[in-house]
């Protein structure tokens, strides 16, 4: 694929994206040993050291932007604006969030202490986990590589990063490796390149946390490896996220937002709307509006659009083509592909009211992860909710409606990692919200403070005093000790504590007023 002339002026004429050879097993072992030594030496404990590495990450993204744009165009035909909006900007915002709040997040949090331990004090201390393995993937390679790394560094850990698998976004992996070598301290961050052999070699070593972004297959591989050493994991796995379009929606805006989410990055997005349930009363109109929205976004020939992406490799093209050919009878838009260019057009498949054919279709057997969007009509909102409930829990559920009652009903009666009302995917851009799956779509969450928490251990600390010792807790036990322990340890309803505080405050006010009026 030729380089995009729009930004080639930013790339030195002699520039060649560095491609990587698989990392040998002995080098991976050396990385783990070196990172372990760095962590044990306390290099990442000081907040100043963490912030310095976060600023280096920011410099990596800012100074290396043209390098990354060029590599991304070669691998995924991703427009620079799309890359910045969906990958770089989020990372930059995340870095700033951690720089702004790191001091408060790392400060001990005081909590209450039970009466039996009076006069003790209690705190929660955020402790780094240690050596973390971060396993990236290829669909948003900058985002899914650096976003967890930000939280990892912020929390005071060291990281071994598995770059996206070879044979996918090789130019971006090479660019990331080049920039990481240039900007990041190898005592804190190192990387591994390669395919399944490199992944197996990486997983043979012990870690204090494994963070993996990918599909269910790699998620299970990581979970099995982690189980051998009881290593905690965060798994971001995707899944089939549904969109429900109710009868009272804004058709034009709904169609535009669905098309944007479904075909961004050529459909290779883990939280894309993977299928659509449209109310039967507006189904045909919605499909027509979506057809027009595709033309508005990518033109009559998306192959000629610089804003439309490409499938990552020939294997991905072949998989999408097989799914499409099986369901070709339901084609209403698109369906054109070019294997040599890894191009497959934005494609709509309308099953209308035939739920049986929809459920049995090739599109509905697994996450599509490509530019195919099946649509089926429903009569009552219970129908899509039943479908969601009887299948693997999705990463997200999307509902388009103007009705507060319908919105609340869907929120209450559906399970998912996240939810967005009247739009798709934008919930991931709010770093005040946790991002993560549930069940088959993953475990754990990150972004913002949730990233810091994911890569930290909340250590309970209680400070006891020598001024008082509750002797009845010691042997030998007596009837009096039993009664006293029963009274002290008896659970107290929260409302009693509230009433007690009010009485104490009123008593103090009464005493003060009494002394004042004398």
| Statement: residue 13 has pLDDT above 50 | no
> Which of 34-48, 110-124, 176-190, 484-498 shows the lowest mean pLDDT across its residues?
484-498
With CA atoms as reference, report the closest residue to 85 among 69, 67, 101.
69
With CA atoms as reference, report the closest residue to 436 among 87, 92, 144, 231.
144
Quickly state the pLDDT bin for 206 (edges 50, 70, 90).
very high
> Is CATH 3.40.30.10 the classification given to domain 242-430?
no
Rounded to an integer, the average pLDDT of 130-155 is 98
With CA atoms as reference, report the closest residue to 270 among 193, 228, 213.
213
Q: Report the share of the chain in percent with pLDDT over 70.
A: 96
> How far is it, in rounded angstroms, from Cα 402 to Cα 372?
27
What CATH number was assigned to the domain covering residues 25-238+448-459? 3.40.605.10
Rounded to an integer, the average pLDDT of 191-207 is 95
* 114 touches 488 (CB < 8 A): no
| Statement: residue 17 has pLDDT above 70 | no
Q: Report the share of the chain in percent with pLDDT over 90.
A: 89
Could you identify the residue written with the tokens 């549904």? 242
| Statement: residue 15 has pLDDT above 60 | no
| Statement: residue 88 has pLDDT above 70 | yes
Rounded to an integer, the average pLDDT of 375-380 is 98
pLDDT of residue 344: 98
Verify whether residue 236 is a known catalytic residue: yes
Q: Which is catalytic among the residues 69, 94, 236, 367?
A: 236
* Model confidence pLDDT, tens digit, residues 407-428: 999 999 999 999 999 999 999 9
Other C-beta atoms lying within 10 Å of the C-beta of residue 309: 26
> How far is it, in rounded angstroms, from Cα 466 to Cα 63?
57
> How far is it, in rounded angstroms, from Cα 371 to Cα 261?
10
Quickly state the pLDDT bin for 5 (edges 50, 70, 90).
very low
| Statement: residue 6 has pLDDT above 90 | no
With CA atoms as reference, report the closest residue to 66 among 52, 86, 83.
83
| Statement: residue 89 has pLDDT above 50 | yes
| Statement: residue 1 has pLDDT above 50 | no
Quickly state the pLDDT bin for 492 (edges 50, 70, 90).
confident
Rounded to an integer, the average pLDDT of 124-137 is 98
* Model confidence pLDDT, tens digit, residues 320-347: 999 999 999 999 999 999 999 999 999 9
* 334 touches 294 (CB < 8 A): yes
Task: Share the mean pLDDT of the chain.
Answer: 94
């Amino acid at each position: 694929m030729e380089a995009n002339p729009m930004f080639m002026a930013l790339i030195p004429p002699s520039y060649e994206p560095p491609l990587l050879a698989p990392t040998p097993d002995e080098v991976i072992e050396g990385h783990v040993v070196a990172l372990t030594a760095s962590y044990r030496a306390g290099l990442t404990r000081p907040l100043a050291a963490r912030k310095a590495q976060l600023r280096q990450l920011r410099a990596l993204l800012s100074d290396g932007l043209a390098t990354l744009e060029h590599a991304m165009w070669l691998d995924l035909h991703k427009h620079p604006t799309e890359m910045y909006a969906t990958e770089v900007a989020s990372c930059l915002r995340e870095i700033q969030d951690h720089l702004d709040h790191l001091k408060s997040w790392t400060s001990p949090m005081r909590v209450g202490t039970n009466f039996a331990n009076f006069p003790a004090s209690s705190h929660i201390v955020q402790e780094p986990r240690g050596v973390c393995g971060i396993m990236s993937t290829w669909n948003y390679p900058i985002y899914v590589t650096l976003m967890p790394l930000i939280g990892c560094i912020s929390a005071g850990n060291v990281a071994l990063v598995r770059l996206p698998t070879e044979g996918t976004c090789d130019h971006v992996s090479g660019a990331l490796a080049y920039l990481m070598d240039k900007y990041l301290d190898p005592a804190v961050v190192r990387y591994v390149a390669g395919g399944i052999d490199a992944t197996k070699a990486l997983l043979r070593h012990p870690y204090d946390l494994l963070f993996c972004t990918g599909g269910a297959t790699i998620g299970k591989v990581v979970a099995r490896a982690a189980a051998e050493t009881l290593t905690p994991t965060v798994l971001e796995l995707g899944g089939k996220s549904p969109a429900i379009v109710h009868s009272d929606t804004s058709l034009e805006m709904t169609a535009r937002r669905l098309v944007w989410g479904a075909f961004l990055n050529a459909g290779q997005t883990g939280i894309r709307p993977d299928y659509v349930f449209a109310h039967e009363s507006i189904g045909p109109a919605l499909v027509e509006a979506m057809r027009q929205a595709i033309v508005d976004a990518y033109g009559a020939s998306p192959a000629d659009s610089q804003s439309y992406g490409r499938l990552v490799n020939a294997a991905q093209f072949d998989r999408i083509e097989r799914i499409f050919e099986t369901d070709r009878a339901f084609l209403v838009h698109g369906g054109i592909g070019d294997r040599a260019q890894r191009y497959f057009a934005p494609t709509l498949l309308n099953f209308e009211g035939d739920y049986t054919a929809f459920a049995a279709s090739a599109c509905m057997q697994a996450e599509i992860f490509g530019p195919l969007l099946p649509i089926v009509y429903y009569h009552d909102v219970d129908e899509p909710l039943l479908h969601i409930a009887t299948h693997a829990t999705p990463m997200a559920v999307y509902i388009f409606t103007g009705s507060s009652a319908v919105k609340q009903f869907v929120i209450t009666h559906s399970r998912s990692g996240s939810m967005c009302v009247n739009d798709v995917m934008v919930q991931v851009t709010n770093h005040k919200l946790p991002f993560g799956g549930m069940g088959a779509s993953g475990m754990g969450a990150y972004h913002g403070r949730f990233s810091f928490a994911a890569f930290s251990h909340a250590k309970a600390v209680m400070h006891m005093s020598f001024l008082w010792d509750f002797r009845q807790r010691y042997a030998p036990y007596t009837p009096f000790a039993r009664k006293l322990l029963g009274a002290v340890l008896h659970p107290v309803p929260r409302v009693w504590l509230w009433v007690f505080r009010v009485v104490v405050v009123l008593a103090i006010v009464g005493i003060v007023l009494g002394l004042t009026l004398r």
